[in-house]
Structure 1
């Protein structure tokens, strides 16, 4: 079987290649650059706990040592603090780190991976599909043809893969613009992120705007100033003036010393590809979507694309394609991004329109500040990880289903579980291996060695049901799970989304749910192969 071709060596492409390799799928990564990333202090990323866990699981590296976890968050309007958040174990802080540190960790992990080949200085310029695979052509010093089973375009906003497949990319340009500066200085607060709207030193006009401060390690801060609409040139003098007036305002009149490390302008576009799959070619990350207004993080969604697609491609690579399963990637991920973009479109006029009757409604500004903070903190409609509530992989109604604290299609809670070898680990540690997870909620098991209860009660019947599932599954035991009664059984996808929950051991229901999560019953296509070239042409003609 030919390897999967990943076009693009940014964080999304590197993560996808690692995720596939962890499931024993060989990959070729086409990197149009030299194989290393230029450090840019002004280019940083904010990662929530689920994405931190994903990267750490794939690389074996603790990311906390490369970035800064915020001690807290505060929202300010003029001189008033409107909201304060303190993070703890139940509500972990986001992790803020330079993007080149993230890609460096991913590249180092890939260099140790024998199943992945990174082809540097290889710019994609041609794709050919046929029933059995994909052929890609690259130009450059080592320009050649590459043969693959599938190809995934992770090649950014100007995606060559998307253009070669003639996929439209509609949306809006320059939804927001920010001036960015990264500097080393000492602020009145330590390791606390800040959103300051209408700061008192900027008293009128659209340029009054807002500034966001995010800490990095070693006393470094990234500051982002919302720019007024238009394409006015952001000069070095303007940026220095913004830095000085902001630091002076926060220090109440005395400009602290600072070292300016890097500057830039960040322009936010909102776009969504019409299709994310054409035959054996897929899109992921910025090649498929652009978002990021109101504090949201587009890279996080790209990494969630990789997590969603990896286990589905791995199953197809090892066992033959289940077309419904592969199609579900677009249906699940595109619907989540579309919902995020719709939420931003609805909120933007409220937050950026200014004036009007809304400005006189009591408490409206506080509500607007909360909406903005949600985008930065990964909460609410703007920022929370998406759920696949209407996924085609959701099983139909089953008699034994029961409700737990996690709705079907949502990411599961990261509870402590007992693995099959008797060790205590976190549930997230067992994700990304290509296996379904079956979790029994059994209070009291945590105080006994596994050997004392593994053959007692309902365990033998559940173990037999797990062995009979249509795909390999790992049986885990948890003492508790939010909203779950004793002897509840959870079925979890390889990417950590809940398929269903059952009251007790119900082998037939468990099997039906597992089959649905895999895209339905497997079909033998050996004698009647699908003409994917014809399907791709027909789909292209319908756009």
Structure 2
């Protein structure tokens, strides 16, 4: 079968090629550039725990070597400290919310590119600009122009080619939204600030050049990224004006400006856009080609990597075994709905958070309420930042009885508990994701201290193992000592991207089989992919 064609070699395209390769699917990555990532220290990304874990699973070593996990979060209003929140930078200490990972984007892209170059199932092709795309019942053909005009044949094509996506334009898909939602002046500098390892959000700083909001986020080796929120229009940011902002800010925070080395600067303009369609037959969109976001602390690359995690296992199922239209359509149904909800939450928050004062600033608790909203967005919590829940997905079974799990229903992301396989291997649950199979997790207190020989053939295990072997899709059986909200003998069915399919109170082979069948979208469609979005978008 032909490889999947990935158009675009940024972090999303490279991550998709590696996620497919981890599930045995070859890909060709068409890169219109020269395969080199220009260092830009002021262009950084913040990864939440789920997307940082995805990067680690894909073999991106730079997340360890060149990324920084924040030790805490601090927020200020004028001269007042509003919040100081410790962050959990280890697996199990539970001191606070999980620490995001902050890394220069070029470092992340380089780590992914290095991993892709080493994988036998990934082919990187540089200097390849797409100019034509054709589809038929058996696959796709794309044409790249000079210096070596070439037709490429693939089973599917995924446009990961950014905000000006050629794939999206060739498919005739509209990309409506809002322009210049926020503007930021940005600087990366090496210096010493009073909050070693902590990220800072400072609203309405008391010096004239501070503007409405400043963030300071640490990177390794004493480097910080500073962002100043700018008025939506006007205010040309000259190099002299930016240097003055830096000096005023460092003086305001430190009493006097400490020595600093300026590494990079820029002006970052944020747009909010959402493609009308994310699938047309065998063609898909992901990352900035499908959505643009990033205001009030939300992270666009985070959502692009979640697109990858969601789409890769579905394409792998289609490539290896065939797939139903329900499974392939579920990518758009789940991801577009989740991103639309995130954009809607950000757009609803903006008038409140950027109102410029007025009566709201004098209402009791309003400052702390605004601070909580921004903290959630920056730390990956709440409506502005938390991982999505696919409760209404076509792949989520309709519950047939009382819930077997409290606190998290079907479609929720699973907790990263420690699990053990029947062969005795132990790992984190998230480490077993992304391998093209469902996970069946039995909550079995005591298995951590019993010898494997005693529990693998005891209790409900033999019956559960038989049920798992009879599922309509490949699955791996795991056990865990405990799981949040679950009692002993609870059985969890988990998708390859880490979302809960269903939870059962005990071993229920018939219900488990039905849930697994729903999670794969039902039986394969014999005539191959057609999709509900076959025509160009003419809305």
TM-score of the superposed pair, with normalisation by structure 1: 0.96
Deviation at 1:401, TM superposition (A): 5.1
Point out 4+ residue stretches in structure 1 off by more than 3 angstroms: 530-533
Partner of residue 281 from structure 1, selected from 280, 283, 287: 283
- 1:202 is displaced (CA, Å) by 2.4
In the alignment of these two chains, the number of paired residues is 533
Give the one of 110, 130, 144 matched to 2:116. Answer: 110
Cα deviation for residue 98 of structure 1 reads 0.7
Q: Is the 8 A contact 1:180 1:222 kept in 2?
A: yes
CA distance in 1, matches of 2:78, 2:278: 43
1:512-535 Cα shifts (integer Å, max 9, x gaps): 000000112334x1xxx36849x7
- Match of 2:166? 160
1:315-344 CA distances to partner (integer Å, 9 max, x unpaired)? 001111311000000000001100001101
Pick one of 533, 536, 540 that aligns with 2:536. Answer: 540
In the alignment, is residue 123 of structure 1 matched against residue 129 of structure 2?
yes
- Conserved? CA contact 2:379–2:385, under 8 Å: yes
- Does the 8 A contact of 1:56 with 1:62 survive in 2? no
Contact 1:130 1:532 survives alignment (8 Å): no
Of 405, 408, 412, the match for 1:406: 408
Q: How does 1:116-515 map to 2 (within 5 A)?
A: 116-202=122-208, 208-252=211-255, 254-399=256-401, 402-515=404-517
User: Secondary structure at the residue paired with 1:446?
Assistant: coil
Q: Per-residue displacement from partner, 1:463-506 (whole Å, max 9, x unpaired)?
A: 00000000010000001000100000000000000000000000
Shift of 1:400: 7.2
Verify the 8 A CA contact 1:171 1:272 in the aligned structure 2.
yes
Check conservation: 2:62, 2:111, Cα contact below 8 A.
Answer: no
Q: Distance in 1 between matches of 2:122 and 2:62?
A: 22
C-alpha contact (below 8 Å) 2:277/2:533 kept by paired residues: no
Distance 2:249 2:335 in 1: 39
Structure 1 CA distance, aligned partners of 2:407 and 2:488? 14
Cα RMSD between the aligned structures?
1.5
The answer (yes or no) to whether the contact 2:173–2:537 under 8 Å persists in 1 is no
CA distance in 2: counterparts of 1:226 and 1:62, whole angstroms: 29
Instruction: State the alpha-carbon separation in 1 of the partners of residues 389 and 241 from structure 2.
Output: 42
Higher alpha-carbon deviation: 426-435 or 371-380: 371-380
CA distance in 1, matches of 2:62, 2:513: 37
CA separation in 1, counterparts of 2:39 and 2:179?
A: 27
**Displacement after TM superposition at 1:540 (Å):** 2.2
1:542: Cα distance to partner? 5.7
CA distance in 2, matches of 1:300, 1:191: 21
Deviation per CA, 1:252-311: give whole Å up to 9, x if none.
2x1111111000011000000000000000000000000000011100100000000000
> Hey, what's the Cα distance between the residues in 2 that align with 1:401 and 1:455?
27
Contact 1:405 1:484 in 2 (8 A): no
Distance 1:541 1:97 in 2: 37
Contact kept, 8 Å, 2:174 with 2:537, in 1: the verdict is: no
Give structure 2 stretches of 5+ with no counterpart. Answer: none
Q: How far, CA to CA, are the matches of 2:355 and 2:99 in structure 1?
A: 31
- Whether the aligned pair in 2 keeps the contact of 1:400 and 1:503 (CA below 8 Å) is no
Contact 2:211–2:228, Cα closer than 8 Å, also in 1: no
Q: Distance in 1 between matches of 2:451 and 2:62?
A: 29
TM-fit CA distance, 1:398: 2.3
Which piece of structure 1 moves more, 83-92 or 277-286? 83-92
Alpha-carbon deviations, 1:170-201, whole Å to 9, x = none?
00000000000001111122111100001111
Q: Which moved more, 1:496-505 or 1:395-404?
A: 395-404
* Partner residue in 1 for 2:84: 84
| More deviation, 49-58/271-280 | 49-58
Structure 1 residue 72 and structure 2 residue 75: aligned? no
Tell me which residue corresponds to 2:15: 15
Measured after TM superposition, the shift of residue 406 of structure 1 is 2.2
Task: State how far apart, in whole Å, the 2-side matches of 1:520 and 1:400 are.
Answer: 24
1:46–1:95 CA contact under 8 A, matched in 2: yes
CA distance in 1, matches of 2:237, 2:86: 35
1:134 and 1:149 in contact (8 A); partners too: yes
Matched residue, 1:93: 99
After superposition, what is the alpha-carbon deviation per residue over 1:45-102, rounded to whole angstroms, capped at 9, x for unaligned? Answer: 1111111111111116372321111111100001111011101232321111111111
Question: Retained in 1: the 8 A contact 2:282–2:529?
Answer: no
> Shift of the alpha carbon at 1:359?
2.1
